A and B are shown apart, each in its own frame.
Chain A
Amino acid sequence: MAKTEEINLKEFWDGFNKGDWQEEIDIRDFIQHNYTQYEGDESFLAGPTDATTTLNDQLMDLKKKEREAGGVLDADNDIPATVISHGPGYLNKDLEKIVGLQTDAPLKRAFMPFGGIRMAEDALEAYGYKVDPTQHKIFTEYRKTHNQGVFDAYTPDMRKARHFKIITGLPDAYARGRIIPDLPRIAVYGIDRLAAEKFSDFDNIGDGEMTDDVIQLREEINEQYRALQDMKKMAASYGFDISKPAQNAQEAIQWIYFGYLAAIKTQNGAAMSVGRIDTTMDIFIQRDLDRGLITEEQAQEMVDHFVMKLRMVRFIRTEDYNSLFSGDPIWATLSMCGIGMDGRHHVTKTAFRVLKTLENMGAAPEPNITLLWSDRLPEGFKRYATEVSIKSSTIQYENDDLMRNQWGTDYYGIACCVSAQPIATGVQYFGARANLAKTILYAINGGVDELAKKQVGPAYEPISSDIIDYKEFMGKYDKMLDWLADIYVNTLNTIHYMHDKYYYESAQLALKNSRLDRTFATGISGLSHAVDSISAIKYGQVKVIRDEDGMAIDFEAQNPDYPRYGNNDDRADDIAKWLVKTFYNKMNTHHLYRGSKLSTSVLTITSNVVYGKNTGTTPNGRQAGEPFSPGANPAYGAEKNGALASLLSTAKIPYRYATDGISNTFGVTPNTLGHDDNARKDALVNMVDGYMTNQGMHLNINVFNKQTLMDAQKHPEEYPTLTVRVSGYCVYFADLTKEQQDDVISRTFFDEM
């Protein structure tokens, strides 16, 4: 093992500006010293090469076969996936500029038992495969999984809360994901320099006093070190030596991709983010362009092929999982742009090139393209981005000014949908979400589950009056939230302890600093319904209708005109602020695993449908089983003053409490947006600028007609690439379940009247 000072990389860095980054591992510093801002428009961009078109056709064909085969084209059942478990695999070796697959064949799904063998087996069986008996024996008798660890420690109350879905989507049988590796490190430094750094960190952790935290970190750094060595072996199997920095753009993009590939070969997290790579790529591309080594066509081709790889990532999931998150999402979230701490924007030509992939290869859900937005981004880029949005509905917009300020760095990325994470120094523990709308019913029914009629929460006195008294209700809701916060946070404490122990993310964490700031992510579902229910109780004189068992099964507001969240009406919006803040503070009283800092999100992804299914009729008139509104969106039909009033309600939710993100999904028909392309682009730019100026955090934008969706539901074969944005991610419309399609169709579209 070479020491860091013995590795001389100067020759690889010819043409780059000097900086601290040459002495320390510091990609942000490398970027700030070397990137080229771009102020112009999209006219420089190149279309697809023949190779790109051929490859893309091949992929579309495979994707079609995959859909025809019921969702899975092929799957391993006997090779537990590791960084080096598989030999090289190709889509078309002669044409691919960027290579590397999760397994040995395109779209073939890997066998990933470390999160939980039963989950892996159920997933295989859902698609007609059976796990190899030897593997079954190994992972049940000899090798404990994360899932078993968690269930060894759960309390009966935790199992109950989980079973009755007051807390849902917990990563206790698969990877927690959401850890953004600092992928450009491989391109800029090469593996050897990174390994040397880890070696030196290992030497400097602890003074020999072996406390739990020192032991844990020393073991982890060793795992990281080994993961780095495995990455070299994996790259070597494809014929590349990544021990040293990349020498040209193609290598840089390839090195970055190998880092990502190591992550997706080993972890099946719900979200496997790509992070911030566009500026680093651009620096390498620009150096090659300046040296006359490549043309714009070639630059675009590399970016296209890289993005194509992100479109091919697959995990095999159980039916339960698919009903939560439809359409095979993996949240290969790629965050771009934003404004630097020094005031310079981070728009490069490569940000344009990434958007151009949607034109060159058609719309697609992955990567989850996320623009870190500020009204200070250059106009040319803003207009191009909104044009791509209007054409493909595949972009999400997030408030860079808000996040940079909150997190104190411009070098952060989005993990999953809306969760910011400092890339070099931060890590997040993903924690799914708790159902605050269902908790309203628990408060009314004394902790008895309204659907199962079983005691799940604590047996407090239920509300027995005809008309719900606001003060009485709030006392009970407050206590029920105490219980929920307690059981939720402690369930997560258990999960993260076991995840670190049995399913540690050595590859991703090898590409981050050894000493990390940790975030303990939690989430809220059913916000709008909880808020409107509280408002109904406060202002609407809600009468309870009970069944023969005395269970509250329906509600009638005597004054149906009570204020509703989504109209920029403080009477309702203040309840939303109060609820987020209160739930955060309640969770924050508890011990959080590994000294992590609490964050929460208002985000549901497509799980709003399932959460709704598991929740009885709520006092705001939402019927039992009806979907929740997604993320922080207002309830269906609650909005009476148009789109911007609705957005301003969402914008009031305080980001300082919900630092894990506040999601709003916005659908609009083209004609509502404007009568011609220019007007539409202007309207979208102004809308996003206005939302962000008002502290709005996140916006999904969908531009299409309801009729298009209805037609696509009937004739999916005619819309193979129709992509919609759903609460923080993108999905092929055809890959949604019928219920979710209906939900998207019926969801508020701001339509002209």
Chain B
Amino acid sequence: MNIKFTTNLSTETATPTEVVPVKDPVGYVHSIETFGSVDGPGIRFVAFLQGCRMRCEFCHNPDTWNIGTGDPYTADELIAKALDYRAFWGKEGGITCSGGESLIQIDFLIDLFKKCKEQGINTCLDTCGQPFTYKEPFFSKFKELMKYTDLSMVDIKHIDPVEHKKLTGFSNERILEMIEYMSNHGHHMWIRHVLIPERTDYDVYLKKLGDYIQTLHYVDRVEVLPYHTMGIVKYEKMGINYPLKGIEPPTHDRVVNAEQLLHTADYHK
């Protein structure tokens, strides 16, 4: 853990007794992907933050669930690491925080994104929204975070609250509240939906989701992500039961169908 000093020790007047250490918030990082090209606009440095409360059946990163583990970074440390890759970012790229559920570490996120914006780095928040609440102190923090967030990538796991709970362990109420807040306050979003046979891939739900998204503002893109089975290996390694055993990725036709029902072509920009 790094400690930052508010007083410059090299100045003549400073004496050790005047130094007041101020701790920057520390983020716990599961892993880093330096070449994120599907995690927001352009090529992005993606920090996968550790910890998530949801237990989505299709989660392909169960190793990010535990809260409190991971490698500790201050915002400055993470930015310094990311800046090695600035030459790859072009006009659009930047830093994305994903997870796990990144909002669990909101104090760190605020510090990180604020410092990113000071250096002109594009910021993108990849969240499922589950920690969102209008309750304090979270809500004020969230508003603060949104000031420094250029884009949020928000997953809607399921449009039906009951099905959502079955799929993830939580209702989608807070998630939709967060999305509506963003929609009403000018915060740009990409909305993503994982298409899973026998779970989300039903026309009735897809239509409902499509209609819902159409009521929102500031949605720059809607993406259908076909479910894949690449996470199974991790479940086996960790010795936990894989809930979607036997379910295959959706067919190309079903993906196209979902894209039509979610009107993805209308948003793309």
Contacts and interface: CB of A to CB of B under 8 A. Distances in A.
B230 interface: yes
Contact of A690 (B85, B230, B231): B85
B90 interface: yes
Contacts of A672: 35, 37-38
Given A641-B32, A642-B32, A686-B43, A693 B87 contact: yes
Interface in A665-685: 671-675, 679, 682-683, 685
A685 B90 contact: yes
Interface stretch (A449-457, A587-595, A643-651, A655-663): A643-651
B35 A643 contact: yes
B33 interface: yes
A568 B37 contact: no
Interface string B206-237: 00000000000000000100000011000000
B38 A648 contact: no
A549 to B, nearest CB: 38
B34 A691 contact: no
Contacts of B84: 568, 648
A683 B88 CA distance: 9
Given A671-B38, A674-B38, A679-B37, A689 B87 contact: yes
Given A648-B85, A683-B43, A689-B90, A674 B34 contact: no
Given A648-B84, A648-B85, A675 B230 contact: no
B34 A641 contact: yes
A323 to B, nearest CB: 33
Contacts of A501: none
Contacts of A687: 35, 43, 88
A753 interface: yes
A693 B37 CA distance: 19
A694 B38 contact: no
Contacts of B148: none
A752 interface: yes
Best-buried of B37, B38, B93, B231 by chain A (most CB within 10 Å):
B37
Contacts of A686: 42-43, 88-90, 93
A683 B85 CA distance: 13
Interface string B33-59: 111111000110000000000000000
Interface in B77-96: 84-85, 87-90, 92-93
Contacts of B37: 672-674, 679, 683
A503 to B, nearest CB: 45
A750 interface: yes
B88 A644 contact: yes
Contacts of B93: 686
A738 interface: no
B38 A752 contact: yes
Interface in A699-753: 750-753
A640 interface: yes
User: Size range of the interface on B?
Assistant: 20 to 34
Contacts of B223: 675
Contacts of B87: 689-690, 693-694
Nearest to A671: B38
A752 B93 CA distance: 18
A686 B37 CA distance: 10
Contacts of A690: 43, 85, 87-90
A645 B33 CA distance: 8
A436 to B, nearest CB: 27
A568 B34 contact: yes
A753 B38 CA distance: 11
Nearest to A672: B37
Contacts of A674: 37-38
B174 interface: no
A751 to B, nearest CB: 8
User: Size range of the interface on A?
Assistant: 20 to 34
A489 B50 CA distance: 52
A641 B90 CA distance: 20
A188 B90 CA distance: 41
B259 to A, nearest CB: 11
A683 B36 CA distance: 10
Main secondary structure of the interface of B (DSSP, over half): loop
A751 B92 CA distance: 22
Interface in A608-659: 640-645, 648
Contacts of A679: 37-38
Contacts, number: 71
Contacts of B171: none
A691 B43 CA distance: 13
A693 B84 CA distance: 11
B133 interface: no
A587 B177 CA distance: 68
B34 A645 contact: yes
Best-buried of A686, A689, A693, A751 by chain B (most CB within 10 Å):
A686
A648 B34 CA distance: 10
Nearest to A648: B84
B254 interface: no
B179 to A, nearest CB: 21
A675 B90 CA distance: 18
A672 B35 CA distance: 9
Contacts of A640: 31
B60 interface: yes
Contacts of A751: 230
Contacts of A642: 32-36
A682 B90 contact: yes
A120 to B, nearest CB: 47
Nearest to A685: B90
Contact of B35 (A644, A682, A693, A694): A644
B89 A643 contact: no
Given A685-B90, A753-B60, A643 B34 contact: yes
Nearest to B35: A643
A665 to B, nearest CB: 15
Given A642-B34, A675-B38, A753 B88 contact: no
Nearest to B32: A641
A675 B34 CA distance: 18
A683 B37 CA distance: 7
Given A641-B34, A686-B93, A689-B90, A753 B230 contact: yes
A673 B37 CA distance: 6
Contacts of B230: 751-753
Nearest to A686: B90
A752 B37 CA distance: 10
Contact of B88 (A671, A675, A691, A750): A691
B52 to A, nearest CB: 16
Best-buried of B36, B85, B230 by chain A (most CB within 10 Å):
B85
A441 to B, nearest CB: 32
Interface string B228-250: 00110000000000000000000
Contacts of A752: 38, 230
Nearest to B45: A644
A66 B194 CA distance: 48
A682 B42 contact: yes
Contacts of B231: 753
Interface string A486-529: 00000000000000000000000000000000000000000000
Given A644-B85, A682-B42, A689-B90, A750 B31 contact: no
A377 to B, nearest CB: 14
A674 B84 CA distance: 22
19 contacts: A641-B31, A642-B33, A643-B35, A644-B43, A644-B88, A645-B34, A648-B84, A648-B85, A672-B38, A675-B223, A682-B90, A683-B37, A685-B90, A686-B43, A686-B89, A687-B88, A689-B87, A750-B35, A753-B231
Given A643-B35, A645-B34, 17 more contacts: A568-B34, A641-B33, A642-B33, A642-B35, A642-B36, A644-B35, A644-B43, A675-B38, A679-B37, A682-B92, A685-B90, A686-B89, A687-B43, A687-B88, A690-B87, A691-B88, A693-B87
Interface of B: 31-38, 42-43, 60-61, 84-85, 87-90, 92-93, 223, 230-231
3 nearest A-B pairs in the assembled complex, by CB-CB distance: A690-B88, A644-B34, A643-B35
